[in-house]
Structure 1
Amino acid sequence: MGTREDVYQLLEEKMLKYADYADVPVIEVDEVVLFEPVPQQGVLRVEHLDPEMSELTGGVVYVRRPVVDMLYRAGQALKALDRSLTLQVVYGFRALEVQTRLFEEAKDALRAQYPAGDELVEAAHRNVAVPSVAGYPTGGAVAVTLLRDEQPVDMGTPVMEANRDSFTFSPFVSREAWESRQLLRRAMMAADFAPFDGEWWHFSYGDKEWARYYRQPGALYDQLAFADAQKVDPSADLAL
């Protein structure tokens, strides 16, 4: 099977890179920008894990309106497979300005290892997505994990932890963690989310990664700054 490093490199080669979807267009859709809070009820549980965005949103995880319905479908699919399981949502919309700052910090941390230009951008992108293609600022990407009987399931690594054993198909986690990751992936894909296999918790709909993964003509959602994300339908009783 080769060394551990060899395995990580093989897994990483299978993942979409920035260059793979940098040129994916955003299709103009006749739709008011609408965000909804992910509800803390039924087949879903919510715990916002980012203090910075949680402070801006009052601890609420916001996503695009269709994503709420898709999360419900994924939660129902999990319950159909195992009644003890519940889908927990820990992250949703991230403001574009926050994404931009995080990406610049990632680049700064790698400047000594990589020359400026495409190589540095790709290296930083492996840790924090380039803002122009990032899913979280579109409101279409989510970070999710599993609960069993309302207790956290062992997924091999903590959710949202930068670690190469967070690669979905890392063979260096327990069999239980491996099977839990595949169960989560199956349920989310059954609800039409696209997986990012560099992070077992990351799934998206409507962003550039989703468009590239499912070979769609373009993304449905563009990235938004926090102020723009608050421009919702006046008839809706919702705002970030």
Structure 2
Amino acid sequence: MKPYQSIPIQDCGEALISIPLERFSVEKPHPYQKLGASYGQKSPYYLRSRVIETLIEAQRNLQQQYLGWKIHIFDAYRPVAVQRFMVDYTFTFLLQEKGLNLEQLSPEQQENLWQQVYQIWAVPSDDLGTPPPHSTGAAVDITLMDDQGQLLDMGGEIDELSQRSHPDYYANQIDSKGKIYHQRRELLNHIMTQVGFLRHPGEWWHFSLGDQMWAWQSQRAMAYYGRVING
């Protein structure tokens, strides 16, 4: 159990609605759908209404500093079934990458692999008290696109299982590339936290507003977005 999962939830009942994609840059095709994940009647590009409003505000602030730049949305709403799909997919990917056979692994070796998976992926819990952040419609994975339509190199890929995923990985780099990566991550963090989002402590791309992680980070007594029940 993660520390933030001890935060109680009192869902405010706010609607999960479609993101106005014409306002943003969007990952197409969606990376998890491309792998075979099914979102049912929803799409990955849904969020709670206030979260969308705040995301629009963040982009407005970004464009005041950098004309023509956009927030690039990689992923947003994620039903628990999709969370489970991606957790299983990542575990299988690690097995293949390391050339391992599941049947030949000891329980300790399997546990070590699962711990690597859960460095990035939340447990796909069906417990309404411990929802995966993305299953609340209050978390979004993003990066930045410049006025030439190019994604900024952040020094690591979204969902990358490595130390480079930590937001401050490049904080003490002295080479020019490392400094640029850190500056870009800090810019992304600034435009999001300026409007109320908070960044995942271990992922430079993940931001949330109103869920358990956000409440825990901001020392609030309660989260107001829980799992979307029909998702």
TM-score under structure 2 length normalisation = 0.76
Question: Which residue number corresponds to residue 9 of structure 2?
Answer: 26
Q: Tell me, yes or no, if structure 1 residue 176 matches structure 2 residue 156.
A: no
Q: Which residue of 2 is the match for residue 162 of structure 1? A: 161
Aligned length: 206
Unaligned ranges ≥5, structure 2:
96-104, 125-129
Q: 1:218 aligns with which of 211, 217, 222?
A: 222
**Residue 124 to residue 114, structure 1, CA distance change in 2 (3 Å):** farther
Which whole-Å CA distance do the structure 1 matches of 2:131 and 2:42 have between them? 26
Change (3 A) 1:112 1:71: farther
The 8 Å contact of residues 207 and 221 in structure 1, kept in 2 or not, is answered as yes
- Tell me the CA shift for residue 223 of structure 1: 1.9
Post-superposition CA distance 1:54-83 (Å, at most 9, x none): 764676511111111011011011112221
Superposition pairs of residues 52-131 of structure 1, within 5 angstroms: 52-53=36-37, 56=40, 61-103=45-87, 112=106, 114=108, 124-131=117-124
How far has the Cα of 1:198 moved from its partner? Answer: 1.4
Q: Distance in 2 between matches of 1:81 and 1:112?
A: 53
Cα contact 1:39–1:46 (8 A) shared by 2: no
SS in 2 for 1:41: helix
Q: How does 1:200-211 map to 2 (within 5 A)?
A: 200-211=204-215
Measured after TM superposition, the shift of residue 101 of structure 1 is 4.4
Residue 125 of structure 1 deviates from its aligned partner by 2.9
Q: Shift of residue 203 of structure 1?
A: 0.4
- Residues 57 and 86 (structure 1), Cα distance of their counterparts in 2 relative to 1, 3 Å cut: farther
Identity %: 25
- 1:113 deviation in Å? 7.2
SS of 2:142's equivalent?
Answer: strand
Two-structure CA RMSD over aligned residues (Å): 3.0
Q: What is residue 45 of structure 1 aligned with on the other side? A: 25
Distance 1:59 1:80 in 2: 30
Specify the SS of the correspondent of 1:26. coil
**Could you say if the C-alpha distance between residues 114 and 219 of structure 1 is closer, same or farther in structure 2, counting changes exceeding 3 Å?**
farther
Q: Secondary structure at the match of 2:120?
A: coil
Structure 1 residue ranges without an equivalent (≥5): 1-17, 230-240
